[in-house]
Structure 1
Amino acid sequence: MVVVLPGYIGEVREWEGRSWFPPGPQLAVCLSGGKESLADLTDGELLEVAAAARRQTSWAQARELAAIAELAGRRAAGGVEDDPRVLSAHESVTDEVAAALTVTGNAAASLVHLAERLADDLPGTREALEAGRIDLTKARVICDVTESLPADAAERLETAALEKAPDQTSGQLRRRISRMARRLAPDAVEERKREAVRGRRLEVWDNPSGTANLALCDLPPEEAHAVYNKITAAARGLKHEGDGRSLDVLRVELATRLLGGAEFPEAVRALLEQAPHVVEEPPAPQPGDDVAIPALAAMAERRLAHVRARVSLDVRPVAVRQAAQRIHDELAERRDTVCQGDEETHGRPGYRPSAALRREVEERHGTCVYPSCNQPSRRCDLDHTIPWRPGLTCRCNLAPLCRRHHRLKQSPGWSLFQIWPGLLIWTTPAGAWYIVRPDRT
């Protein structure tokens, strides 16, 4: 069914539909102007400007890296190697870049390395950055994950990465292609891990707030997680005993005492004795058919794109929200049938899901279902997409939301629809939409 919203067609605005506009000198002209030039734009147009500025930034960064690569190539061609009296060509150009760009030596070395990788080994990534399809952070992720891989594996990984990179956050991209790297070149990945572990270290650095960070870097993952889990378990025990401080604060207090030389039982006991026993209100409960998901996601994308093309920016938020609601309502009977199975009803009585249902939903989505969030689902609220009563406690109405995005969902102008178990649509106050698919069905 095509969603037709008569009367919504309005005037075409300056920035409407500029998502196709490629970066370069022409886009730079379009983006010029002071702050006052933004005052008359709609919310949707402001987001178009922000997205265009990001594409332009990627283009400029690609030019910066191309210039660095060209300079590095010239210095390498004319440098004197194996002379202990002078710096190597690579070291020299790194210092040259650091001085010219007013960055640290480490930052300059990172730029030179990335520039050389993009110029020599990752042409597709270089082109995607220059075209504004990815940003510098994603280019670094692809560079990092393909480092030290055999050439054929690196080429396959780059191709696969660029297929979905424009629609993924850097964290999502890193997780996805890291899994692929382990399948394509397990020996190279394992050797790189061993090399990193050999360089494990303790680092400290100051923050602008006047505090400092202390980090154990490049530990074997099993050791790092074991330490974290042990400290977390003790912190949860302190919370259970009535300590009103947050888990984050308790973890830091425990770790600080342990690194200071205290035995584990002594550290826990000392914290328990000095705990501010604040009586806190307990947190309020926060509110597939697998073969159908690709087809339904494509259908939803077409419907919502049709609405975007047909309506003006002024009414787009309402129109997109209405279209998503219609899609949700159209699928209600089929969705209920799938969830019901051979039973007469689906869902379970009561607000809280069973342990088995929670595991199913957390396995379906490994992270919070907000498109750019990487919070693991095990640390999220299990949210009823339609609030409980009338919403059901069911696999078709539950999804993990971190506390921040749980609150966002309930904020004015935002909506979340679960049109199929694990297939969700977010709509924003500006009339944008984001379709979230399950990691597994």
Structure 2
Amino acid sequence: MASLAEVKAFRGEEREWEDRSWFPPGPQLAVCLSGDKNRLADLSDAELCERMAAARRQASWAQAQELAAIAELAARRHAQDEHHDPDYRVLSARESLLEEVSVALAVTGNAAATLVHLAERLTHQLPGTQEALQAGRIDLAKARAISDATDHLPDSLCARVEDTVLDGVEERTTGQLRGKIKRLVRRLAPAELEEQTRKTVKGRRLELWESGHGAAGLALIDIPADDATAVHNKLTAVAHGLKQDGDARLIDQIRADLALQLLRGIPLPEALHAPPVDAEPPASTPAVPDTSEEIGDSVAEMVGHAAQRRLEELRAHVEFHGRLADLPRLAARTVQDLHERLAPLRDTTCGHGKPGYRPPAALRRQIEARHATCVFPTCNRRSEHCDIDHTTPYGTRGTTCGCNLAPLCRRHHRTKQTTRTNETTGWRLFQPWPGVLIWITPAGTWHITLPSRQ
């Protein structure tokens, strides 16, 4: 029988991506994916399928590297926790880790917590899943499915479930994988599954989030499955009834409108006849230019660029001399130097001089208008629900003034406070210009927060 190569030679063609399913992810596959000769227009349909599968394997490999780095950083922060007494006023090293991951990856605190938990689970309880992710046999969604479904199990049973579900995992979708794990856990550990269900339901909640284009999402999370099914079935039955009566809306739209009317307190049957929800966003009011802040905005932008240049120079210097451990201390010194150099211009522009520790109501409104949310890089908590913090502590050269105040939610206020207890590994926060905040993480990376309207 002729080989595949002989068949291709007979046809007078050579396909770069055919039968590449064996190619493992890693640096070599990255080179293949980025090669100029692999232009998509030149590939056959079969090669395009092979290439998309190869790209998925490569993405899984990269995600495994990301999680491994998170797990290593987590291990180092755990070691720091063991050498420090707990202090409720500041974040623990574990909590600080979540903030570091959050700013490093530009994700929310909840997303960072999910990644840290998954990274530690793969490292300690699910090594087979970690290996499958790195080998490109599964993607991140499947790794999360395995982790979530086995989170409550003893280690011995967790390993047994993992071994079973990884057999043939490449051929299953995430939904099929979750179903198999659920059936397996129900058979092997019914008591543990029931206990985990009770714990999950205790965390039930109503979540609200913006979904874009002036719309939002509202959802009941972790309610009992039977209750969720009953509510959904009832709304569906009513929606089908309205549809049969000639309602032009889609079933999904009727269900959503009906649920919203009921939650707003409109009883049946009035809710059935309520008009459809008007999803058009209100017309926005044109922004009125504020010429009084134009100079400050320009200076803020210059401060940001100057800080970036200084920090890049610093990083190059430290890396050249191989003293990476000194990066947090040297970065803080550099930003402090920038803060002091701008002092004369800051003093002239700001004027200073607000008596007392607590800012007056007018000054607080000014700070809240300048920053609509907490000034931590990834935080979205509204500034009116935040503490108005003195960037430089009050009484130690810190004044109650617009150039030294910024909104910090209670958690990130505690993040900033770690500087007081640990000058070496704590977080550092500077405000070299009113409204321009520079954060330096325990690892020495830095992040600039500008006024909201920028």
TM-score, with normalisation over the residues of structure 2? 0.56
Assess if the C-alpha contact under 8 Å between 1:81 and 1:88 holds in 2.
no
Which residue of structure 2 aligns with residue 23 of structure 1?
25
Partner secondary structure for residue 202 of structure 1: strand
Q: Does 1:246 align with 2:250?
A: yes
Query: Could you tell me which of 207, 212, 228 is aligned with 2:211?
Result: 207
- Aligned partners of 1:81, 1:61: CA distance in 2, in Å? 34
**Which blocks of at least 5 consecutive residues in structure 1 are unaligned?**
273-441
For each residue in 1:287-322, what CA deviation from the matched residue of structure 2 results, as whole angstroms up to 9, or x when unmatched? xxxxxxxxxxxxxxxxxxxxxxxxxxxxxxxxxxxx
Query: Higher relative contact order at CA 8 Å, sep ≥6: structure 1 or structure 2?
Result: 1
TM-superposed CA distance for 1:116, in Å, is 0.5
TM-superposed CA distance for 1:15, in Å, is 0.9
- Aligned partners of 1:10, 1:226: CA distance in 2, in Å? 62
TM-score, with normalisation over the residues of structure 1? 0.58
Which residue of structure 1 aligns with residue 266 of structure 2?
262
For each residue in 1:181-223, what CA deviation from the matched residue of structure 2 results, as whole angstroms up to 9, or x when unmatched? 1211111111111112111111111112331111111111111
TM-superposed CA distance for 1:175, in Å, is 1.3
TM-superposed CA distance for 1:158, in Å, is 0.7
- Aligned partners of 1:99, 1:6: CA distance in 2, in Å? 51
1:94–1:7: structure 2 CA closer, same or farther, 3 Å change rule?
closer
TM-superposed CA distance for 1:59, in Å, is 0.7
TM-superposed CA distance for 1:244, in Å, is 2.4
**Which blocks of at least 5 consecutive residues in structure 2 are unaligned?**
1-6, 277-454
Which residue of structure 2 aligns with residue 110 of structure 1?
114
For residues 34-49 of structure 1, what are the structure 2 equivalents within 5 Å? Answer: 37-49=39-51
- Aligned partners of 2:62, 2:206: CA distance in 1, in Å? 35
Q: Does 1:63 align with 2:74?
A: no
Query: Could you tell me which of 221, 227, 239 is aligned with 1:223?
Result: 227
For each residue in 1:34-66, what CA deviation from the matched residue of structure 2 results, as whole angstroms up to 9, or x when unmatched? 697222111111121111111111111111111
- Aligned partners of 1:235, 1:38: CA distance in 2, in Å? 45
Partner secondary structure for residue 39 of structure 1: helix
Question: Which letter maps to 1:190?
Answer: E
- Aligned partners of 2:189, 2:206: CA distance in 1, in Å? 29
Partner secondary structure for residue 19 of structure 1: coil
- Aligned partners of 1:265, 1:213: CA distance in 2, in Å? 25
For residues 3-152 of structure 1, what are the structure 2 equivalents within 5 Å? Answer: 11-33=13-35, 37-79=39-81, 80=84, 82-152=86-156
For residues 27-426 of structure 1, what are the structure 2 equivalents within 5 Å? Answer: 27-33=29-35, 37-79=39-81, 80=84, 82-270=86-274
- Aligned partners of 2:257, 2:171: CA distance in 1, in Å? 39
TM-superposed CA distance for 1:68, in Å, is 1.0
- Aligned partners of 2:168, 2:85: CA distance in 1, in Å? 41
- Aligned partners of 1:6, 1:263: CA distance in 2, in Å? 70
TM-superposed CA distance for 1:22, in Å, is 0.4
Assess if the C-alpha contact under 8 Å between 2:68 and 2:119 holds in 1.
yes
TM-superposed CA distance for 1:266, in Å, is 2.3
- Aligned partners of 2:64, 2:119: CA distance in 1, in Å? 9
- Aligned partners of 1:101, 1:6: CA distance in 2, in Å? 45
What is the Cα-based RMSD across aligned positions, in Å? 2.3
Question: Which letter maps to 2:147?
Answer: C
For each residue in 1:409-441, what CA deviation from the matched residue of structure 2 results, as whole angstroms up to 9, or x when unmatched? xxxxxxxxxxxxxxxxxxxxxxxxxxxxxxxxx
1:251–1:154: structure 2 CA closer, same or farther, 3 Å change rule?
same
- Aligned partners of 1:60, 1:271: CA distance in 2, in Å? 49
Question: Which letter maps to 1:147?
Answer: D
TM-superposed CA distance for 1:12, in Å, is 3.5
TM-superposed CA distance for 1:89, in Å, is 2.3
Partner secondary structure for residue 220 of structure 2: strand
- Aligned partners of 2:182, 2:238: CA distance in 1, in Å? 32
TM-superposed CA distance for 1:9, in Å, is 5.9
Query: How many residues end up aligned between the 2 structures?
Result: 268
- Aligned partners of 1:209, 1:50: CA distance in 2, in Å? 31
Assess if the C-alpha contact under 8 Å between 2:261 and 2:274 holds in 1.
no
- Aligned partners of 2:89, 2:67: CA distance in 1, in Å? 29
For each residue in 1:305-353, what CA deviation from the matched residue of structure 2 results, as whole angstroms up to 9, or x when unmatched? xxxxxxxxxxxxxxxxxxxxxxxxxxxxxxxxxxxxxxxxxxxxxxxxx
Assess if the C-alpha contact under 8 Å between 1:81 and 1:89 holds in 2.
no
- Aligned partners of 1:264, 1:229: CA distance in 2, in Å? 16
- Aligned partners of 1:179, 1:206: CA distance in 2, in Å? 35
- Aligned partners of 1:20, 1:94: CA distance in 2, in Å? 37
Assess if the C-alpha contact under 8 Å between 1:66 and 1:119 holds in 2.
yes
